[in-house]
Amino acid sequence: MTAPGILAAEHLTKDYPNGVRALDDVSFTIDDGITGILGENGAGKSTAIKILLGLLRPTSGRALVLGQDANADITVRARLGYMPEHDCLPSQVSAAEFLTHMAEVSGLPPKVARTRAADTLRHTGLFEERYRAIGGYSTGMKQRVKLAQSLVHDPAVVFLDEPTAGLDPAGREEMLDLIRKTHREFGISVLFSSHLMGDVERTCDRIIVINGGHVVHHGEVAGFTREMETVFIEVDHGREGLIAALAARGVTASEDAGGLVLSGVDESIYDIVRDALVASGAPLRRMAPRRRALTELFERGGAPA
């Protein structure tokens, strides 16, 4: 029998009273590290997270958190952190006071709560601003407070729901750095939900792709990224000859947007394309790496094996 991992979903199905099936026989295991849940809005990511947090009961199946049933004993939540996507901060109180309070609500004694609140604010870059009312913070600072409150009680695993939502490019980069730091320096496992493939790829070790309530991909990010990469080639003429030359070298090309798209690429593809161009005599106009859109993956029913 294999170890259950930090989080596990066993044949989870969730039907809402309005007849919508949000999850359909979903199973996965999440181990230590940074795991991304990727899916479009309405794919079932939030439902999966809510079941793992014990906020929803599954219609059937079981969610295991740190080896315990998520709904059996709420004291397991003392070891979980949650950063919701929506606003969740009081405007009137300071970050220091709010974090101290949330640490106590997580079960820490008051003295420890105060110390950990100050430490966590230092690690998330808010130490200098800790006595200002949260209502006066920028969007980026508020996102950091949201992350800080999820870490203040030193959870074993933290759930981050769209943590980069509403951030500018610099703020997004800082938040992704903090998420990487959360696991690599703090030793806290992360479950990171997003609909942005780039954020997940740059941050996560593993990925779970959900679409329409089904898990369509589950594995290492590196493999997923490779499968999602394509090369786009545009030639002035002789496209058919190039396709044949590529096929002769074992590469399948599909026609798209006036050019050719090569899937399942690796480092050697550029040498193969060069040889195929020489052999076919097709004059190259443009060649560029591209990525498949997430919707393409869903249309195909999952990532290539």
Residues found near other proteins in the complex (CB under 8 A): 53-57, 71, 74-75, 77-80, 82, 84, 86-94, 97, 101-102, 104-109, 112, 116, 119, 123, 133, 149, 153-154, 185-187
| Nearest approach, Cβ of residue 9 and other proteins (Å) | 16
Give the residue with the Cβ less far from other proteins, 89 or 279: 89
Give the residue with the Cβ less far from other proteins, 186 or 232: 186
| Nearest approach, Cβ of residue 263 and other proteins (Å) | 41
Give the residue with the Cβ less far from other proteins, 154 or 199: 154
| Nearest approach, Cβ of residue 11 and other proteins (Å) | 18
263 burial via Cβ count (<10 Å: 0-12, 13-18, 19+): middle
Give the residue with the Cβ less far from other proteins, 142 or 217: 142
CA angle 126, 164, 152 (to 5 degrees): 40
| Nearest approach, Cβ of residue 194 and other proteins (Å) | 19
Burial string for 251-262 (b: 16+ CB within 10 Å, else e) reads bebeeeeebbbb
CA–CA separation, 297 and 195 (whole Å): 13
Question: Is 50 strand, coil or helix?
Answer: helix
Give the residue with the Cβ less far from other proteins, 1 or 74: 74
CA–CA separation, 213 and 186 (whole Å): 32
| Nearest approach, Cβ of residue 127 and other proteins (Å) | 12
Residue 279 tokens, joined? 């052999």
Asked whether 141 and 126 are in contact (CB, 8 A), the reply is yes
